[in-house]
Amino acid sequence: MEFMDSDRKNTGQPDVDNSALRKAASGGETPRFWRGFDELADTPEFRNHKENEFPHGANDPDAKLDRRDLLKVMAASAAFAGLSGCTKLPNQKIVPYVRQPEQIIPGKALFYATAVTLGGVATGVLVESHMARPTKIEGNPDHPGSLGATDAFSQASILGLYDPDRSQAEIHDGRIGSWAEFQEELSTALGAEKGNNGSGVRLLTPTVTSPTLGDQINTFLKAYPSAKWVQYESATRDNIREGAKLAFGEYLNTVYRMDQADVILTLDSDFLTSGPGCLRYARDFARKRRVEGPESKMNRLYAVECTPTNTGAMADHRLRMRASDIEGLARAVARELGVSTVAGPVAPPNVPAGWIPALARDLKQHPGASLIVAGDQQPPIVHALAHAINQALGNTDKTVYFTAPLEVSPANQWEGISQLAADIRARSVTTLLILGCNPVYDAPVDLGFKEILPKVAFSARLGLSEDETSALCHWHIPQAHELESWGDARGYDGTASVIQPLIAPLYGGKSEVDFLAVINGQSAKPSHDFVHDYWQAQRAGVERFDVFWEKTLRDGVVDGTALPPKQVSLKPGIGAEPPATEAQGLEIVFRPDHTIWDGRFSNNGWLQELPKPLTLLTWDSVAMVSPKTAQRLGGSSRPADYLKSEDAVELKYKGRTIVAPVWVMPGHADESVTVFLGYGRRRSGRVGTGAGFDAGWIRPLATPWIGTGLEIRKTGDRWALATTQTQSTMEGREPIRIATLDEYLKNPKFAQAEAEENPLSLYPEVKYEGNQWGMAIDLNACTGCGGCVVACQAENNIAVVGKKEVMIGRHMHWIRIDRYYEGGVDDPSTYHEPVLCMHCENAPCEVVCPVAATVHSPEGLNEMVYNRCVGTRYCSNNCPYKVRRFNFYLYSDWDTPSLFGMRNPNVSVRSRGVMEKCSYCVQRINAVKIDAERQDRPIRDGEIVTACQQSCPSEAIVFGNINDPDSRVSKLKAMNRNYKLLEELNTRPRTTYLAKLRNPNPEIEKTPAV
C-alpha cells in the first residue's frame, strides 16, 4: 500500500470502522454531522419541471423551517459557541478496535491506488482513506491517463459512494427480496434456457474494457452459445469505432500524442475536457503552450465546432458552423491537403475567404507535427477523413497512433440496442440481465423500452440506485460502487488498472464480477479471486506472482498492459462517394452534459451544482441557440419577440415534442440548436429527479447526435435558470490580460503595464520570514474544466445549496471559474479565470471584522475562523474579489448519516451564519509542516499541494513558498506574464495570474471574422 500522512481531527467522534459506518449509513446510529441534500429534495423545482420563479422568490425557505425548530438551531449554535465556555463537556465515547489492523494508525490517512471508470475507460486514482473511510479522490501520478490529475466526475464519485439514495435492498416485483432467492430464480431461468443454448438470454452491459469481466462474460457465452451480449451507453462512441472501420477496415482505438503536435485542428471535438484520455491530452497540450520566456514556442489550435466547448475557448482560431456542415469542411481541408480521392467538396458556408487554404498551409508546414481530431458526435466519415488527412500529413505514429480496441468486444452499440429491442418485441427474449445500464431512460426513444421491457419473462437489473429501468424489471439488485468492489479496466491507451475496494459495500451491493460469477454458477468464489486469478493466468511467466500482485495494487496499474501501436493501412477511396446532401432546416445537436454526462451522475449534488464551464448554469439543461437564430426564431423583427434565455419553448423533432428552456449562447453556430443528455430523470433520487428536461425524449434511433428538421414553438412561459455569473463582459476592466504571442514577444511586460513599483501602504509591510505561501495561476493553461471546483468541494466539506439558492447568488464554491466574453455576441472569444481567495497581504476583509474572525497568519495566510465568526458579512462586502461565501442557512447536512463518513475529518463542517472561504488548504499545509518539524527539516517545494492544484490536468495552478526563490511558484511569479488581479487597489494578493497568450495564424488574423 502507498502511505501518506495527514493528521486527523481529534474529536469525540467514534473512530468508525466499516461495520460501524455501514450501520450508520443504513440509518442505524446517528453521530453528529450535517444537512443539505434533503433541503434540495424539498425545494419545489426538483418536483416541477417548469419553475416560474424569479430569483427573489427566495421567500420560501419555509420548507426548511419545517425541519428547523428553535431548539435545534440553538443547540447547533451552542455547540459552536463552545469556546465562550458556556457549554458543558458532552458525554462522548471512544471506541477503539478490538484487534487493530496493521497499517491503520488512528488519525493518519492511507492512500490506496485504484481506478474509476467513465464509459468503461479507467482513470487511475489514489483514494484517501481515514480509518477505512474513503474521503477524497486524487489522481494517480503513475497512471498514464491521469498523471496525478482528476476530472470532476472522478472527484465526485466519492459522493456517489455515499449517496443516500443508493438502493439498499434486493427488490423483487416491488417487494423486498433476497440475494439467495434471486440466485434460485436466476438459475431456474437459465436452466430453462440451457436446452436451446440460451438463445433467449440477453446480457445488457455498458461498454466493457475490463479484462476480467470480459473473461467471465466469454465463459458465459461459451456455456450459452446462442445467448447474446449487448453493450450500450447513450453517450456511445460508435462514431469513433465506425470511423476507424471505415478508414482501416477494423475497429481500432485512436490515441493522440498532444506533446508532439504543433498545429492541431479539431472537428467538433472537445478533446481537452471530455472523452478518454482528456486529462492526459490537456496536460500535454498545456505543456506545449508554456511560454516561459522570449525563446518559448506555442502550439496552435484551430477549432471548428458547432456547440461552444472548452477546447473551442482555448483555440487560437475558432470557426463556428453547423455540425452537419463540418463534414463539408473536412472534405475541403482533405482536398486542400491532397487527399485526392475525396469527392465534393461542397464548399461549407460561412467560412471566411482564405481560411481553409491558410489552415492547410499551416498544417502542411508541420508534417508529422500536426494533428486532426474529429469529435465524438461527428459521423464516421468525418473520422475517416481525419485519419486520411493525418495519414497524408505523415502524422500517423507521430502525433496519433492506433491500437487494438480497448473494449473486450467492440461493437456498434446503436445497432446492438435496436436489435435487442427487436428481439424483445419478437418475444424471443426470455431472460434479460442488465448490468448498470438504464435503457428505459436513455435508449433511443423510438425503441420504446418502457413498453417492451415488461414483455420479458425474467428480467434482472444490477444498479446503484432504483431507477427507471429497475422499476420495470422483475429483480433489482443493489450494485456495489466502484470504490466498494474488485475489478479492473483499461485506460485510454490500454493500460489496465486493478480496481480494489476501499470499503466493504455499504449496502451489501454486488459488483459486476460478483453478478457474472452467479450467472456462471461460481457464486462461491469471491470477486477478488476472479481478478487475481485472471491476471495470474496472464502473467504465467512471473515467478513470485504475489509480489507482482502486491506491486500492481500499490501502483494502481498493471505493468506492460499499455496496448502497442498497431500498423494500419488506410483503405483506398475514402470519402470517394459524394456527401449525402443534408436535409435543410433547423439543426438539432445532442451532446452528453458536461457535468452529469448521460444522466448517471444526475443524483450527484456536487456535479449538479458545478457550473457548466461556458454557460455557468447549474441544476438544469438548456436548448442552446445562437443570438442570430434566437432573433429569427422570435418570428418578428421586434426585439421584444426575440427568443431570450429562460424562455420556455417547445422542441418538436420527428413527431415528438418536449418543453425546454432557451439559452442564447454566444459563439454557437447559427441555425442549429444544441440539447444535452442526462436531465429530466424520472427516477433518479432526491437530487436528480425532475431536474431539467429529457432531451432523450426527442432523440430517435436514426439521428443519435445530429439531425435536421427541428421545429421550435414559444410557449410564453418562463423557465428560471440558475447561473453563477450574470455579467459576461469585462466592462473595460482587465481581470484577464491577453496578448498574442507576437505582441508578447514585442512587449514582454504588457501584463504589468500599469503596475506600480512599490505602492505606499498605511499598513505595516509583511515580513518575508520562513514560509510565505503564495499561488500562481497560468491562464494560458487553464481550460476551465471545473475539476478544481469539485476537488475543492470534496477536500473542504463544502455544502451543496440547491437551485433556488444558486439563483439568489448564494453558491458556496471556494474556487470559482469566471468566464468572460470578448468581441461581438455572435462569435466572441471566451476566456476562463479561476478565482479563489487571494490571501491579500493588505486584506480589506481583515480590518473590518468586528470580532477578529479573519486575520493574517505570519506565513501570509488570510485565516478564516468559523467558530469565531458572528456573521456580519462585512468582510464579504469589503472583499473586492467576492470570494467569501456565507452560510445563509444551515447548508451543511447535519442529518443524513450516510454522508458522515464522506467528510474530511481535518476540516470543520460549517454551521449556519458563518462566513467561509478558500484557506489554501491549510489542513494540508499543517499536516506537512508537522511532519517536517518532527523530522527537523525544511518543507520541500511541491510537498504541499492544494486540492485544486492536485486535480488540475493542465498544471495551471501552482502553490508554494514564495520566500524561496527556487520554488516553482516563485519562478512563475518572477515571469513577466505575472500580474495581480485588481492590482490598483494595493491589496497585495498572494494569488497572482500569468497573462493569457494566443498564437493566431497571421494570415487568418488579418481576414475579418464572419
Burial per residue of 529-544, b for 16 or more beta-carbon CB atoms within 10 angstroms, e otherwise: ebbbebbeeebeeeee
- 757: helix, coil or strand? coil
Nearest approach in angstroms of CB 86 to another protein is 7
**Per-residue cell: 199:** 438463445
Residues 870, 851: Cα–Cα separation, whole Å: 8
Binding of another protein by 809 (CB under 8 A): yes
Nearest approach in angstroms of CB 61 to another protein is 6
Per-residue binding letters, 410-429, with another protein (x by CB under 8 A): --------------------
- 128: helix, coil or strand? strand
Nearest approach in angstroms of CB 814 to another protein is 12
Instruction: Determine the interface stretch with another protein among 2-10, 276-284, 750-758, 940-948 (rule: CB under 8 A).
Output: 2-10
> Residues 818, 827, 895, 955: which binds another protein (CB under 8 A)?
818
Nearest approach in angstroms of CB 928 to another protein is 12
Residues 456, 429: Cα–Cα separation, whole Å: 6
Instruction: Determine the interface stretch with another protein among 137-145, 330-338, 653-661, 882-890 (rule: CB under 8 A).
Output: 882-890
> Residues 412, 419, 878, 963: which binds another protein (CB under 8 A)?
878
Cα Rg, the chain, nearest whole Å? 28
Nearest to another protein of 737, 816 (CB atom): 816
Q: How many CA atoms lie within 13 A of 679 on its CB side?
A: 27
The residues, any chain, with a CB within 8 Å of residue 133's CB and separated by 6 or more, are 16, 21, 503, 901, 902
Instruction: Determine the interface stretch with another protein among 176-184, 229-237, 722-730, 958-966 (rule: CB under 8 A).
Output: 722-730
Nearest approach in angstroms of CB 19 to another protein is 10
Binding of another protein by 871 (CB under 8 A): yes
> Residues 808, 825, 928, 1009: which binds another protein (CB under 8 A)?
808
Nearest to another protein of 100, 218 (CB atom): 100
How far is the first Cα of the chain from the last one, in angstroms, to the nearest whole number?
Answer: 57
Question: Can you say how many angstroms the Cα of residue 979 is from the centroid of all Cα atoms in its chain?
Answer: 29
CB atoms within 10 A of CB 710: 20
> Residues 884, 973, 977, 996: which binds another protein (CB under 8 A)?
884
Rounded alpha-carbon distances, angstroms, from residue 792 to 113, 733, 961: 20, 28, 20
Nearest to another protein of 567, 726 (CB atom): 726
Per-residue binding letters, 676-715, with another protein (x by CB under 8 A): ----------------------------------------
Q: Are 201 and 193 in contact (CB under 8 A)?
A: yes
Nearest to another protein of 580, 930 (CB atom): 930
Per-residue binding letters, 66-95, with another protein (x by CB under 8 A): --xxx--xx--x-xxxxxxxx-xxxxxxxx
Question: SS3 string of 601-629?
Answer: CCCCHHHHHCCCCCCCEECCCCEEECHHH
> Residues 436, 565, 844, 1000: which binds another protein (CB under 8 A)?
844
Peptide bond into 578 cis (omega under 30): no
Residues 853, 849: Cα–Cα separation, whole Å: 7
Nearest to another protein of 80, 285 (CB atom): 80
Residues 25-64 binding another protein (CB under 8 A) are 32, 54-56, 58-59, 61, 64
Amino acid at 411: A
Residues 345, 216: Cα–Cα separation, whole Å: 48
Nearest approach in angstroms of CB 456 to another protein is 45
Task: Work out whether strand 317-320 and strand 300-305 pair parallel, antiparallel, or are unpaired.
Answer: parallel
Binding of another protein by 813 (CB under 8 A): no
Residues 889, 804: Cα–Cα separation, whole Å: 12
Q: Are 121 and 492 in contact (CB under 8 A)?
A: yes
Binding of another protein by 18 (CB under 8 A): no
Q: Are 194 and 502 in contact (CB under 8 A)?
A: no
Q: How many CA atoms lie within 13 A of 927 on its CB side?
A: 21
**Per-residue cell: 908:** 470543520
Nearest to another protein of 181, 984 (CB atom): 984
Nearest approach in angstroms of CB 527 to another protein is 25
Residues 96-155 binding another protein (CB under 8 A) are 96-100, 105-108
Residues 607-636 binding another protein (CB under 8 A) are none
> Residues 242, 442, 805, 955: which binds another protein (CB under 8 A)?
805
Instruction: Determine the interface stretch with another protein among 249-257, 713-721, 743-751, 852-860 (rule: CB under 8 A).
Output: 852-860
Residues comprising the chain, all counted: 1010
Nearest to another protein of 730, 1009 (CB atom): 730
Nearest approach in angstroms of CB 828 to another protein is 14
Instruction: Determine the interface stretch with another protein among 261-269, 348-356, 398-406, 857-865 (rule: CB under 8 A).
Output: 857-865
Task: Work out whether strand 109-118 and strand 991-994 pair parallel, antiparallel, or are unpaired.
Answer: unpaired
Q: For residue 672, give the DSSP letter.
A: E
Nearest approach in angstroms of CB 799 to another protein is 12
Nearest to another protein of 481, 884 (CB atom): 884
Residues 968-987 binding another protein (CB under 8 A) are 981-982, 985
> Residues 729, 747, 761, 1007: which binds another protein (CB under 8 A)?
729
Nearest approach in angstroms of CB 991 to another protein is 13
Residues 590, 694: Cα–Cα separation, whole Å: 11
Residues 273, 787: Cα–Cα separation, whole Å: 9
Nearest approach in angstroms of CB 858 to another protein is 6
Residues 32, 908: Cα–Cα separation, whole Å: 12
Nearest approach in angstroms of CB 685 to another protein is 24
Binding of another protein by 857 (CB under 8 A): yes
> Residues 560, 639, 852, 965: which binds another protein (CB under 8 A)?
852
Question: SS3 string of 488-507?
Answer: EEECCCCCEEEECCCCCCCC
> Residues 173, 295, 543, 731: which binds another protein (CB under 8 A)?
731
Nearest to another protein of 249, 858 (CB atom): 858
* DSSP H or E stretch at residue 111: strand 109-118
Per-residue binding letters, 911-950, with another protein (x by CB under 8 A): xxxxx---x--xx--x---x--xx-x--------------
Burial per residue of 611-643, b for 16 or more beta-carbon CB atoms within 10 angstroms, e otherwise: bbbbbbbbbbbbbbbbbebbbebbeeeeeeebb
- Number of residues this chain uses to bind another protein (CB under 8 A): 122
CB atoms within 10 A of CB 353: 10
Binding of another protein by 23 (CB under 8 A): no
Amino acid at 73: V
Nearest approach in angstroms of CB 280 to another protein is 30
Binding of another protein by 838 (CB under 8 A): no
> Residues 220, 507, 606, 889: which binds another protein (CB under 8 A)?
889
Bridge partner list, 118 = 121
Rounded alpha-carbon distances, angstroms, from residue 638 to 69, 343, 515, 662: 52, 43, 61, 18
Nearest to another protein of 409, 877 (CB atom): 877
Binding of another protein by 302 (CB under 8 A): no
Nearest to another protein of 93, 175 (CB atom): 93
Nearest to another protein of 914, 997 (CB atom): 914
The residues, any chain, with a CB within 8 Å of residue 782's CB and separated by 6 or more, are 817, 832, 833, 834, 952, 954, 956
